[in-house]
Chain A
Amino acid sequence: MHYLYPLFKWCDGSWIGETIRGSKYIFPTIEAIHLLGLTVLLGIMVIVSLRLFGFILQHESTRDLATDLRPFTWCSIITMLVTGYLLFASEALKCYDSPSFRFKMVCLILALIFQVTVYHKATTSDTVDKSPGFARLTAILALMLWFGVGLGGRAIGFL
């Protein structure tokens, strides 16, 4: 990983990082927005997964539900990425040494890839309602990946 060190060091020393570190209020504010984004995004994942399992809203197709939720999904993902980068920039060197951060980034990259491939396919075609196995597998993997991101994020504060 040492070839990434200069990148972390640059982020840490950037004016964004310096500014956030220099203020008592900016970091907590961004963190609160990051947490609200988490609530919305993981909430969506819970709702869509419960629908994929067929536990809730059975009278509405997965596709219709996911279509209603899609703008909220991407708004919350973009909010998380922007606020996440800002938080990261203010403590990039701490993150470099954090196993939790590495775990989080691996989960995040996998979750984003999963989101635009398998999850996208499962929530834009009607086939998913006829193929419960595929639907359930998608739900389990989406939950594991996104909750992995959340778990890793919370753990940065501890180890």
Chain B
Amino acid sequence: MSILDMCQWLQDTQFGTSLRESIWMFPIVEGTHVLALSLSVGTLVWMDLRLTGTFMKSQPMSKVSGSVLPWTLFGFTIMTITGIMLFWCQAVKAYNSIFFKMKIAMLVLAAVNAIAYHATIYLKMDEWDKVIPPPARARFAGWCSIVLWIGIIVCGRTMAYNF
């Protein structure tokens, strides 16, 4: 069974079919996915900008990330649930879209970036909590995150098109 066959099977399941053909559910799920961008990336970007040392410089890094991150994670939970639902009901279209593949690749890179940050310089935050500019490793993580998320949003939106 190829990946394409699995995608076909997934969107032919009862859940996939009924979501795809629904009048209200699909727009609601897609609308939620779009508007929850505000909670996920819309809040993450301020923590990233603080990481790069360009925003909220007067606030310690730990306060900014401690305040913002729980809401970001809440946003990403909504994004993941609605994103899986959207993929479920149009898996073949997604599989055939170069933009979807780019989106997933960048999501993986964003996850690697976040894990790498948390496993390294984040552990030593006491040393640079109030230091402006933050260490190069932190600034790098912040810029990577911003660039990757811009790419993810653009690719997500562009998935609707077939060029």
Chain A interface SS verdict (over half)? helix
Does A59 have its Cβ within 8 Å of any Cβ on chain B? yes
- In the bound assembly, the distance between CA atoms of A47 and B42 in angstroms comes to 8
Given A28-B161, A45-B38, A46-B43, the answer on whether A155 and B31 have CB atoms closer than 8 Å is yes
CB distance from A146 to the nearest CB of B (A): 9
> Is A70 positioned at the interface, with any CB of B under 8 Å from its CB?
no
Count the B residues whose beta carbon is within 8 Å of the partner chain — how many?
A: 30
| Contact mask for chain A residues 86-117; partner B; CB cutoff 8 A; 1 contact, 0 none | 00000000000000000000000000000000
A59 to B58, CA, bound (A): 11
By a CB distance below 8 angstroms, the chain B residues around A39 are: 37-38, 41-42, 45, 153
The residues in A between 14 and 50 inclusive whose CB is less than 8 angstroms from any CB of B are: 24-25, 28, 31-32, 35-36, 38-40, 42-47, 50
In the complex, are the beta carbons of B45 and A40 less than 8 A apart? yes
* Chain A residues with CB below 8 A from B157, complex form: 28, 31-32, 35
B130 within 8 A of A: no
> 1/0 per residue B147-163: CB within 8 Å of A?
00010011001101101
Given A32-B153, A154-B34, answer yes or no on A46-B42 (Cβ-Cβ < 8 Å). yes
**B35 contacts A by Cβ under 8 Å:** yes
Contacting pair B63 A57 (CB below 8 A): yes
Whole-angstrom CA separation of A46 from B46 in the bound complex: 12
Q: Does A8 contact B (CB under 8 A)?
A: no
B15 interface contact, C-beta 8 A: no
CB-based contact A35/B163 at 8 Å: no
| A24, A28, A38, A44: the one within 8 Å of B37 (CB) | A38
Within 8 Å of chain B (Cβ to Cβ): is A144? Answer: no
Q: Is the CB of A68 within 8 A of B55?
A: yes
A147–B42 CB distance below 8 A: no
A120-159 to B contact mask, C-beta < 8 Å, 1/0: 0000000000000000000000000001001100110010
CB <8 Å contact, B35 and A151: yes
A35, A45, A47, A155: the one within 8 Å of B68 (CB): A47
CB-CB nearest 8 A-B residue pairs: A43-B42, A42-B38, A56-B67, A32-B154, A158-B27, A154-B31, A39-B37, A57-B67
